[in-house]
Structure 1
Amino acid sequence: MTTPEWAPEHEATPELASALIGRRFPELRGAPVERLATGWDNTVFLVGGDWVFRFPRRRMAIGGVEREIAVLPVLAPRLPLPVPVPRFVGGPSDDFPWPFWGARRIPGRELADVRPPDGDRVVLAAETGAFLRALHDPALAREAGKGLPVDPMGRADPAERASRTHGRLDAIAARGVWERDPAVGEFLAAAQGWAAPGGEPVLVHGDLHVRHLLLTPGGRAAGVIDWGDVCLGAPAVDLSLAYAGFEGAAREAFLAEYGPVPGEQEAAARTLALNLSATLAEYAASTGREALLAETIAGIGRALS
């Protein structure tokens, strides 16, 4: 049996997290620790109701953890939405071989869990567009981007992303959770002939999708989390959310706040929107995450709308 890509190489338990945190940070010793979320690369714990700690699950996530620790304190005061700011930083030990960190909790629920109707996403989309306009400011890349890799995952390359998407779509079609759409196949076939957008790279979140945008109870933007893929890259790397998460009036509101998106950026963003939506749909179907599955299947349709 093939091991899933998201299987942990080393996973912290609440008991281990409590011991590590209490040993390093006396002010949190004895605070209750509960598992808050898991992803491909990190296990996340809520500590004392106020602090969120991220522990890597895979060795390949270590570089991202180190970049978060270095970059997020610089980004936070420059952005219009809250982002995590590491307050507690722990190094490797005999009990846990990798670095980990904790930040004050940003209250909110993942967009993928809330799943507001598309017509109720207009204000949220506008707030997200304004956030990305600030993040993609070239001056911010010059200030905070030193030492960051340039799109190491090739996410702005439509040909690369399109080639990676076919297998994901095959997997979810085989599971019976997605019905094949000829328009998607035609788009991906065309995308395999497109070049990556040119221009000076900006600072990008790197993995901005429907799990990483948090919402308030009223459906407004509460914050942006999980910055392990922060890097320099084409704006399209983050603009994929405009095409996977919003359509119609909501997308118009996003673009009104963000500004014009050149055709080559839009093409790359739509391709990545398909790729991320299909990848997350496969993950959701495999792990029983029904809300995420419904949101990402809808994202495949939005990407071409």
Structure 2
Amino acid sequence: MTAPWTPEHEVDAAQAALLIAEQFPALAGQPVVPLATGWDNTVHLVGGQWVFRFPRREIALRLLVHETAVLPRLAGRLPLPIPRPEFLGTPSARFPWPFWGARLLPGVELADTGLPDDQRTHAAVDLGGFLRRLHDPALAVLIATVSPAGVAAAATTTPGDRSPEAGPAVVLPHDPMRRADPGVRGPMARERLAALSAAGLWQPDPAVFRLLDEAEPLGPPDGPPVLVHGDLHQRHLLLAGDGRAAGVIDWGDVCLADPAVDLSLAYGGFAGGARAALLAAYGPVPPERAARARVLAVHLSAVLAEYAHAENRAALLREALAGIGRAAR
């Protein structure tokens, strides 16, 4: 079977350099080196200070529209750094899809830090405050409908740079992948866990299955949605060398949803005193919301583990497997 993260187009450093030089002459001649890959994007570092994201799969094009519309509107409104699109590339004969660039946010993915659970408190407090602001209902009202015109206005205007024409307003979807519904995510988690167990990567944990048994009957949430990152896991929180949170990246799944969608990282990425500190900074989380967040944390961690194993990413595999256990406790 083809892995779901298999690219349909993969831009290497040489092709990225040509595309960037062609559309953004101010960056021509800058060194281009691979930085990261994920399910949806290949990422290159340009000139040591610009990060360019090139879609790998057609499904990511819709996500690109959402993040490039939302991120400029969020700039300056959140207590942690987030990417701000400044170069917007258009489809061409060299590459059929749009792409974009932003200034590099320094930091290391939480998944790659190897930071022990008892040393994650500072990052947890930072993340709790960040999510409290992101989930402010007033912010959802402000951002729910955004126009790409805002992206064009925010783009870099140095000579040679250009932005695509402003299109129609972008209306953010409401939890399009049903991540806040344990009745959907629970069975998906069980399937991933069975595969991990069959591969000898994960020892079945009764606490995990008790969580799924108890939470799956909850069904979809019925409260008012808020603005959410949408795919917040251990790869998308950046940490600085001192263990503080340094930024939140990869906003392609930004949408309106129950806060549980983002709070999943509180349970998959943090435990013990660090999680308590995160939730104290965030505010009260009702038990049903916590259960939804935990189920999603199990599923996301299992997906990350499967991906990490296939891609030979040992640090990510260790973090993802640990996340499954954290989420159930």
Q: Equivalent residue for 1:109?
A: 108
Residues 227-266 of structure 1 correspond to what in structure 2 (within 5 A)? 227-266=251-290
User: For residue 179 of structure 1, what is the amino acid of its counterpart?
Assistant: Q
User: 1:71, 1:144 within 8 Å by CA — same for their partners in 2?
Assistant: yes
Q: Secondary structure at the match of 1:106?
A: coil
User: 1:91, 1:99 within 8 Å by CA — same for their partners in 2?
Assistant: yes
Q: Equivalent residue for 1:174?
A: 198
Distance 1:19 1:26 in 2: 10
Out of 153, 163, 170, the residue aligned to residue 177 of structure 2 is: 153
Q: Secondary structure at the match of 2:223?
A: coil
5+ residue gaps, structure 2: 146-170
User: For residue 321 of structure 2, what is the amino acid of its counterpart?
Assistant: I
Q: Deviations over 1:91-145 (max 9, x none)?
A: 1112111110000000000000002111111111000000000100111111112
Q: Secondary structure at the match of 2:218?
A: coil
Q: Secondary structure at the match of 2:76?
A: helix
Q: Secondary structure at the match of 1:193?
A: helix
Residues 49-88 of structure 1 correspond to what in structure 2 (within 5 A)? 49-88=48-87
Q: Secondary structure at the match of 1:77?
A: coil
Out of 161, 166, 186, the residue aligned to residue 210 of structure 2 is: 186
Distance 1:192 1:135 in 2: 27
Q: Deviations over 1:29-50 (max 9, x none)?
A: 0111111000000000000000
Q: Secondary structure at the match of 1:44?
A: strand
Q: Deviations over 1:228-259 (max 9, x none)?
A: 00000000000000000111100110011100
Distance 2:98 2:256 in 1: 23
User: For residue 277 of structure 1, what is the amino acid of its counterpart?
Assistant: S
Q: Secondary structure at the match of 2:86?
A: strand
5+ residue gaps, structure 1: none
User: For residue 294 of structure 2, what is the amino acid of its counterpart?
Assistant: R
Q: Percent identity?
A: 61
Distance 2:301 2:209 in 1: 15
Q: Equivalent residue for 1:23?
A: 22
User: For residue 190 of structure 1, what is the amino acid of its counterpart?
Assistant: E
User: For residue 32 of structure 1, what is the amino acid of its counterpart?
Assistant: P
Distance 1:175 1:287 in 2: 15
TM superposition shift of 1:172: 1.1
Q: Secondary structure at the match of 2:42?
A: strand
Q: Deviations over 1:47-71 (max 9, x none)?
A: 0000000000000000111111111
1:119 aligns with 2:114: no
Provide the TM-score with structure 2 as the length reference: 0.91
Q: Equivalent residue for 1:200?
A: 224
Q: Stretches of 4+ moved more than 6 A in 1?
A: none
Distance 1:148 1:62 in 2: 14
Distance 1:88 1:220 in 2: 28
User: 1:111, 1:211 within 8 Å by CA — same for their partners in 2?
Assistant: yes
TM superposition shift of 1:192: 2.4
User: For residue 9 of structure 1, what is the amino acid of its counterpart?
Assistant: E
Q: Deviations over 1:2-40 (max 9, x none)?
A: 110110011111111110000000110011111100000
TM superposition shift of 1:286: 1.1
Q: Equivalent residue for 1:273?
A: 297
Q: Equivalent residue for 1:136?
A: 135
TM superposition shift of 1:181: 1.1
Distance 2:269 2:201 in 1: 19
1:216 aligns with 2:240: yes
Q: Equivalent residue for 1:283?
A: 307
Residues 9-20 of structure 1 correspond to what in structure 2 (within 5 A)? 9-20=8-19
Q: Secondary structure at the match of 1:293?
A: helix
User: 1:145, 1:203 within 8 Å by CA — same for their partners in 2?
Assistant: yes
User: For residue 230 of structure 1, what is the amino acid of its counterpart?
Assistant: V
Equivalent residues, number: 304
Q: Secondary structure at the match of 2:93?
A: coil
